């Protein structure tokens, strides 16, 4: 039995089908920016279809799990990742509120669904807003490197041991900054998202934490690992791209963009 109501699952589905926000269409978008908005909207519509199937049990028509197509696999893994984050939000909500209070941060959410919806909207709109920047380069080799690091998901014990040495501390700080910069660049960055991740780390280490809380944190991290592995494999062969004043350009072997 799911730890949430069918009404909440339907409400999230309605949010998914309306992302990225239609208000972006009120801007003077270039042709490439409009195409990017349409592409992102189509992806979120597919995620919404998968989300609906997950919560109705009607998954027979889905070929995502067995498909070798990158896009189909990615949409499925994104859906699973959001589902796992939703469960983690429910499990960690009260603790997240307490941590926010300890950090003297105003906590504007009255229920887990409100916090999750905020993170979901922030992430999807952030993915689109990449193309609104004057200049943004998305280097495939760098993306692959950062994604492979994210895919490793080092344990708390591994990180603790690394921090015991000066060289290990410097390496971890550099890798974290690079990964964080990549997440910002890709739109996957929200202060509430990172507060929730912090809460998950606390809950997973707390001896009084519930089985549901610990398992939901682990399930979310595994979902992120699976998605990072798929994306890293994609970026290994994909050309680099850049956005320059609303125009999307593709990298060439000579090192330039056209």
Task: Assess if residue 256 is contained within a domain.
Answer: no
How wide is the angle at C-alpha 185 spanned by C-alphas 128 and 51, nearest 5°? 50
φ, ψ (nearest 5 deg) of residue 57: 80, 0
Based on the structure, what is the number of domains in the chain?
1
pLDDT-derived band at 17 (thresholds 50, 70, 90) equals very high
Among candidates 216, 222, 225, 190, which has minimal Cα distance to 90? 216
CA distance 207 to 216: 15
> pLDDT tens across 159-173, in order?
555 555 666 666 556
Task: Assess if residue 258 is contained within a domain.
Answer: no
CA distance 68 to 62: 13
Q: What pLDDT was estimated at residue 206?
A: 76
CB atoms within 10 A of CB 42: 12
Task: Assess if residue 205 is contained within a domain.
Answer: yes
pLDDT-derived band at 38 (thresholds 50, 70, 90) equals very high
Task: Assess if residue 255 is contained within a domain.
Answer: no
Task: Give the H or E element holding residue 56.
Answer: helix 31-56
Among candidates 229, 187, 151, 180, which has minimal Cα distance to 40? 187
Task: Assess if residue 61 is contained within a domain.
Answer: yes
> Contact 90/216 with Cβ under 8 angstroms?
yes
CA distance 157 to 163: 10
Task: Assess if residue 1 is contained within a domain.
Answer: no
Boundaries of domain holding 130: 6-250
Give the three-class secondary structure for 116: helix
Task: Assess if residue 257 is contained within a domain.
Answer: no
* CB-side neighbour CA atoms (13 Å) of 53: 16
230/184: higher pLDDT: 230
CA distance 237 to 144: 10
Q: What pLDDT was estimated at residue 187?
A: 46
* DSSP structure class, residue 240: P
Task: Assess if residue 234 is contained within a domain.
Answer: yes
163/233: higher pLDDT: 233
DSSP 3-14: SS-HHHHHHHHH
């Amino acid at each position: 039995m799911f730890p949430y109501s069918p009404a909440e699952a339907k409400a999230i589905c309605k949010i998914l089908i309306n992302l990225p926000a239609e208000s972006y269409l009120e801007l003077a978008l270039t042709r490439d920016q409009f195409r990017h908005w349409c592409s992102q909207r189509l992806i979120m519509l597919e995620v919404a279809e998968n989300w609906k199937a997950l919560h109705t049990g009607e998954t027979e028509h889905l070929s995502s799990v067995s498909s070798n197509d990158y896009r189909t696999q990615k949409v499925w893994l994104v859906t699973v990742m959001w589902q796992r984050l939703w469960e983690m939000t429910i499990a960690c909500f009260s603790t997240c509120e307490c941590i926010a209070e300890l950090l003297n941060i105003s906590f504007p959410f009255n229920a887990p669904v409100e916090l999750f919806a905020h993170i979901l909207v922030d992430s999807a709109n952030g993915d689109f807003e990449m193309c609104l920047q004057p200049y943004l380069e998305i280097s495939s080799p760098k993306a692959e490197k950062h994604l492979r690091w994210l895919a490793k998901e080092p344990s708390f014990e591994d990180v603790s041991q690394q921090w015991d040495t000066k060289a290990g501390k410097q390496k971890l700080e550099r890798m974290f900054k690079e990964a964080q910069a990549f997440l910002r660049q890709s739109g996957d960055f929200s202060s509430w998202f990172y507060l929730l991740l912090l809460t998950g780390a606390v809950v997973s280490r707390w001896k009084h934490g519930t089985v549901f809380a610990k398992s939901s944190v682990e399930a979310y991290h595994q979902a992120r690992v699976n998605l990072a592995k798929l994306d890293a494999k994609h970026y290994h062969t994909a050309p680099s791209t850049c956005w320059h004043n609303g125009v999307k350009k593709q990298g060439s072997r000579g090192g330039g963009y056209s």
